[in-house]
Chains A and B, each alone.
Chain A
Amino acid sequence: MKNWILFVITAIVVFLLGMLASSVINRKSEAKFAYVPQVKISENEPRNEIWGKNFPKEYQSYIQTLDTSFASFQGGSKTIDMLEEDPRLVVLWAGYAFSKDYNQGRGHYYAVDDVRNILRTGAPKGEGDGPMPATCWTCKSPDVPRLMNEKGVAEFYSGKWADKGSEIVNPIGCADCHDSKDMSLQITRPALVEAFESMGKDINQATHNEMRSLVCAQCHVEYYFNKNLPGKEGVPYLVFPWKNGMSAENMEEYYDEIEFSDWTHELSKAPMLKAQHPGYETYLTGVHADRGVSCADCHMPYKTEGGQKFTDHHIQSPLNNVANSCQVCHRQEADKLIENVYSRQTKSMESRLKLEDALVKAHLEAKKAWDLGATEEQMKPILMDIRHAQWRWDYAAASHGASFHAPVEIGRVITSGLNVAADARIKLARLLASLGFEGEFDYPDISTKHKAQQFIGIDLEKLKAEKEEFKKNVIPVWLETAKEREAKMGVEQVTMNH
């Protein structure tokens, strides 16, 4: 009898344990449906609006990068014709596409539009045509990781820019930085991963705070297209020149070692380097980076809407959002803070313009020396000086915002550039004298963009007319093809009727 009672009690205990286990399992599966999103986002989903269905607040703030109303002293989202602002640039980039057209970039939402419209990408008539390689698309769209995944990285980089026009249609957005499964930050561009490898670092060791800058560093960096990578000869493969370090001198040394040049200057014949936009590299040398402030902290600070806090995806100049970015740490008036930024930028620009003037003169004097019969051997050291001085100028100028991010470093770089430019011009003065040139040099009038472009022989009207043709004939075809492709992708709704 006693045994039977024990048996019954045990049965009840096991039954209750089973009930508890069943409850745990039930509640665990409940979790899967408690926060059901509207749609399923697949890996490499390029369409931002699909992500937006699940994350409306982030998406709607991202859409605000459409706003082009804000212009600051040296940036903002307004289209500014930089060649019009500073015609010296036309001469500095003579023989290179940047002398045709160079505008202040607008928000991320315009990334694809702007690269189609800029005169630098030319007016290709179809596949295989046009001046630019496919590599130029790399930073423009979440379609890039999708396509790299489908085709392979080297295959993505090969071919012409126009070849992939119908594939790349969604502007920079969600999939560029986020994992579709859990929204964590991720690196989608191979060049950054490879650059870390070249420095002997593993990007997977990056902390979360570093990731809040590294996702930006996928694009806002100095890079070049290497056509001589072993095994990938002929493919303009995107590489960051970080092997020796990230300072202007480190990268200069790297480029000199591999004898790389972006183009040969039309006037001086110098083998030139074009700095892209070493924003991340220069940011790292500034005090904000030293204090652990990430790109996102200032360019996408937290925002509150209806009591809910989220990251503002309206990525923009912090000067248009001082209250949420600067004033979180700095308890001064917004006007005062902006004034502080501007004063750093104005002072930096003062010396940068001096370097520009010296460079313009050096290019023109070098041309004169060639015209008077200078030899390659005589010119070589001078041209190297011009290359180095202009690289340093460009490193300072193209790293938008660097005169604020790292004013001391930029001051140092510009000064070293001025020094090299002075060297070049002393050598040129001696050479010109030995070639029999005496007296004042007659510098041409390049006071406007028009005059400067005429001087170096750019027919802007012709370029514009060709671009119009391209916009009329080619882009609509791209869009149509893209629309058909995306229609097939579909959207998988998540149903709640379980």
Chain B
Amino acid sequence: MANHFLPDKNSKWLPISIVILGSIVGLGLFLAKESEIVSYMTDDPKACVNCHVMTSEYNSWMHSSHREMASCNDCHVPHDNIANTYYFKAKDGLYHASVFTMRMEPQVITMKEASAEVVQQNCVRCHEQQITDPKLSSWVESHKTNRTERQCWSCHQEVPHGKVHGLNSTRYTIAPIPTDQEKDVVPEWLKKEIKNN
């Protein structure tokens, strides 16, 4: 392999090539670290606030009841099979990254059609019991069509981000950064005081 990249052992180019290759790899590693690239492999919602444009989405989720049960990926990535999950995640992620790098992100972020479909399927995936109550089918007119021909959030508008979300609707929002340490609920000063006592 090295033979393709590096010149002959005796060539004067050899040390230069090694230094250049080293700097490319080093710069790549630096880039990976700065962009918290490993965090994208996880399901941790904090990975989504690597880009601060997602802060208002993160915070509206964080203050919703879905927080306890569902992370960003639970709703926004398909869960039909593992290949599709990671394909979609990579596709969406790279698209987001490109838009963000090019500074083309809109003030108010809305879902594309493909994402909306995924989210709808995920609502159904978890809430199947609630939305297919056979008792209702028998006596509520057009129960099935009402259920299948609309999107869940056309009625449940507050779930979980709320109708209004975007840079200006959530003021002074503080979101954790992915490298924040997990912290205890007892502040340091109090821990110290209790220990001293």
Taking Cβ atoms with an 8 Å cutoff, the residues of A that contact B are 3, 7, 10, 13-14, 17-18, 20-21, 23-25, 27-28, 30-31, 34-38, 43-44, 54-56, 145, 148-149, 152-154, 179, 181-188, 190, 193-194, 203-204, 206, 208-209, 211, 214, 231-232, 302, 304, 306-311
Contact = CB atoms under 8 A, between A and B. Distances in A.
A190 B27 contact: no
Contacts of A55: 172
Given A145-B187, A194-B194, 13 more contacts: A17-B28, A21-B31, A37-B174, A55-B172, A153-B194, A182-B174, A184-B185, A190-B197, A203-B185, A204-B184, A204-B186, A307-B163, A309-B60
Given A185-B185, A187-B186, A311-B63, A14 B24 contact: yes
A481 B193 CA distance: 27
A71 B171 CA distance: 35
Given A28-B34, A153-B197, A309 B63 contact: yes
A162 B190 CA distance: 24
Given A17-B27, A203-B185, A307 B169 contact: yes
B167 interface: yes
15 contacts: A7-B20, A17-B31, A21-B27, A24-B34, A31-B55, A35-B55, A43-B187, A43-B189, A54-B172, A149-B190, A152-B197, A183-B174, A187-B186, A204-B185, A309-B158
B35 interface: yes
A186 B190 CA distance: 11
B23 interface: yes
B184 A25 contact: no
Contact of A193 (B60, B174, B180, B194): B194
Given A21-B27, A54-B172, A309-B63, A193 B186 contact: yes
Nearest to A152: B193
Contacts of B51: 27
A27 B52 contact: yes
Given A10-B20, A24-B31, A232-B197, A149 B189 contact: yes
B31 A35 contact: no
* List of 7 A-B pairs having minimum Cβ-Cβ separation, nearest first: A31-B52, A307-B164, A204-B184, A37-B172, A21-B31, A149-B189, A35-B173
A25 B34 contact: yes
A302 B187 CA distance: 26
Nearest to A19: B101
Contact of A188 (B31, B170, B187): B187
B15 interface: no
B50 to A, nearest CB: 8
Task: Give chain A's interface secondary structure class.
Answer: helix
B163 A206 contact: no
Contacts of B172: 35-38, 54-55
Given A3-B13, A23-B101, A34-B55, A148 B27 contact: no
Interface string B153-185: 000001000111001011111111100100111
A308 B162 contact: yes
Contacts of B31: 17, 20-21, 24
A20 B183 CA distance: 32
A154 B163 CA distance: 50
B130 interface: no
A21 B63 contact: no
A179 B68 contact: no
B196 interface: yes
A261 to B, nearest CB: 25
Task: Give chain B's interface secondary structure class.
Answer: loop
Interface of B: 7, 13, 20, 23-24, 27-28, 30-31, 34-35, 51-52, 55, 60, 63-64, 67-68, 100-101, 158, 162-164, 167, 169-177, 180, 183-187, 189-190, 193-194, 196-197
A18 B174 contact: no
A231 B193 contact: no
Nearest to B64: A309
Contacts of A211: 185
A41 to B, nearest CB: 10
Given A21-B30, A55-B172, A311-B63, A27 B185 contact: no
Contacts of A186: 185-187
A187 B190 contact: yes
Contact of B176 (A3, A154, A182): A182
A304 B158 contact: yes
Given A13-B24, A193-B190, A20 B169 contact: no
Given A194-B194, A231-B197, A309-B158, A34 B167 contact: yes
Contacts of B13: 3
A154 B194 CA distance: 10
Q: Which of B52, B64, B101 has the most CB of A within 10 A?
A: B52
B196 A152 contact: yes
A154 B197 contact: yes
B174 to A, nearest CB: 5
A31 B50 CA distance: 9
Contacts of B24: 10, 13-14, 17
A176 to B, nearest CB: 12
Contacts of B7: 3
Contacts of B163: 307
B193 A153 contact: yes
A262 B68 CA distance: 42
A206 B185 contact: yes
A353 B173 CA distance: 51
Contacts of B173: 35
A21 B167 contact: no
Contacts of B35: 24
B185 A145 contact: no
Given A10-B20, A182-B174, A27 B27 contact: no
Contact of A190 (B101, B176, B190): B190
A181 B167 CA distance: 21
Contacts of B67: 208
A13 B170 CA distance: 39
